[in-house]
Amino acid sequence: MLKLQGCSFVDEQGRELLLRGVNLGGSSKVPLRPNGATHLPDSLSQPEKVSFIGRPFPLSAAREHFARLREWGLTFLRFVITWEAVEHAGPGMYDHAYLDYLTQVIQMAGEYDLKVLIDPHQDVWSRWTGGDGAPAWTLELLGMDISALHTASASYLHQEAGDAYGKMVWPANNGRYAAATMWTLFFGGDLFAPATTISGQPIQYLLQGHFFEAMRQVALRLRGMSHVVGFETLNEPASGYIGRCSLHEYASPLLRNGPSPTIWEGMLLASGYPQRIKLARQGIPYLFPRHVLANPEGRSLWQPGYTSVWQANGVWDTDNGAKAHILRNDHFAMANGRPVDFAQDCFHPFVRRYASGIREILPDMPIFVCPVPADHEAIRGIDLLPDDVENLVYAPHWYDGVTLSMQRYLPWLGVDYNRANIRLVLGRQRRLRTIRHTLQNLRTEAQGRNVPLLLGETGIPYNLDEGQAYLSGDYSDQINAWRDILQGVEDARLSTAFWNYTADNDNLHGDQWNGEDLSIYSSDQRSDPDDINSGGRALEGFIRPYVIATAGKLVNMNYQDSNRTLRVTIEHDPTISHLTELYVPSLQYPNGWIARASHGHIAANDSIQHLLWEHDPVKGRQTLTLASR
């Protein structure tokens, strides 16, 4: 069981918990049958007949994987499900066989003492808009022809682009027409599309209502499971067009990669007007941008009998059906006669409604709020937590942007997100300081709101340098990339969930989704079925000793990779009778370990790789040093 106490997670004994876990799993974004891997050109066919049973792995393999995660010191799962997995067949038609499977696999996780956070995962709305999450019927309700999404430049799909699909192209789909439209309707349909109704229901109410009820179906199955410790709102939601002052802007100005239409160009393309648009390239300045002709065949996104959502809501129109022109350039900037505030006007009502629906079934369930990715200067992540909802957790994500986007480990190059303008950072020590400063800022934000913080995602691409490690067996760059990240995480004393563990990861197609390959495990690296560590990648990087539970307050935790020494400082709470627990991995201490405490007594539970520290009940601040024997 887990409780929230101020800025801390605590257990039933009152000990402060440091959650260290993993997202399970990367391929849960796509169906197992038929195979939804995005490199397959036909993986978007038959959307109503898919099955996610077996994601993240078959029940027959679950115990092996759960045992491996516990061996690696991971005690927490951010468990990936999608709206599509629950309600793919049609509105209100739930996949009860999948819900049965989900119930069984999550129940089994509890047998391994794994705490579970339910993550309603999405990326750029749905698989048909370049990511995952929502069912195809959400697009079809509006009259979109899902087979035309790529051709009309309303989204950019791995299935269509094939080998030309570049690195980290998918996030830019939040700025393309289909996903941006769906997010605008989902969060702001009442404000910006009042004319759009389905069977008399406002589109915002309908979309949110179906999402909420799908997640309530999950909650109904998990009643009585005390190891289910939270429900997240939505993974990395987006604001769509909301707050943009002009149709000539980009919906996602920072996350541009590949064909990049402005809002207005995207609207024209979706209605069958060919456009010359900018072709953005990752990491290359836009001083001399290239242009491409998009939708040269003039294919409309709309099925016969349907028209553009934004034309129907008076944003633009045509002259006698020919030349298109803008009617309201600032349509998405104003709400009720004043500048729109995405947090207050759109996101907070969503969180309130979601929390209320989940808590009708699971009273007092903690709600973890993942903010919108940093692509809008007016949206500050911590501000997306409403003040009037209790038991909230701030759950942002952070990655080393250079390593992730370039898929290279450059220890002398980083990105500073802490300034008004994002800047490159040169020099190893400056880069490490920037990582530490960025993560400390997240902790400070959460402390300012007196809420706990979970770093819901961080990780590294394993296919660095075109996957050279898979040929050479040298994972030193991956190990060092992990060490840089976790040094910052530990200095800030953050609870963390790694992205990710994919049971069917392979070297050729990675996590089976949009070319990503961030799994800490791969079936292609599993050479010895009798070795529980076999299949793990760069284990020395992320398997580290750490404090699991503190009988008081964790003041400081510092691990030095060079000599495998961990130094811990705690502030003892004399009202807590249970012991402080540390994870001490045999992988890092193959010859055993030596621990010395300034006060109290130390014992070992080698069967679960734990060190137990009984504090001096009188003393306040106490220290422990752990070293290799």
What is the C-alpha separation between 478 and 622, in angstroms, rounded?
A: 34
Residue 156, classified by CB atoms within 10 Å of its CB into exposed (0-12), middle (13-18) or buried (19+), is: buried
Continuous segment of H or E residues that includes residue 182: helix 177-192
CA gap 317, 328 in Å, rounded = 10
Omega within 30 of 0 (cis) for the link into 418: no
- How far apart CA 82 and CA 217 sit, in angstroms, is 12
Degrees, nearest 5: CA angle 212-217-223: 115
Q: Which two tokens stand for residue 179?
A: 């996903």
In this structure, what token pair is assigned to residue 27?
Answer: 């391929």
How far apart (Å, rounded) are the C-alpha atoms in residues 267 and 310?
8
Asked if 490 contacts 430 with a C-beta cutoff of 8 angstroms, the reply is: no
> What is the SS3 assignment for 25?
coil
Which residue carries 């060092």 as its tokens? 480
Task: Please give the C-alpha separations between residue 114 and each of 2, 21, 127, 497, in angstroms, as whole numbers.
Answer: 11, 9, 29, 13
Return the bridge partners of 572, or none: 552
Burial class from Cβ neighbours inside 10 Å (0-12, 13-18, 19+) for residue 562 reads: exposed
Q: Which residues are catalytic?
A: 236, 457
Structural tokens at position 629: 């024997």
Q: Which amino acid is at 299?
A: R
What does DSSP assign to residue 347? I
d(CA 557, CA 570): 9
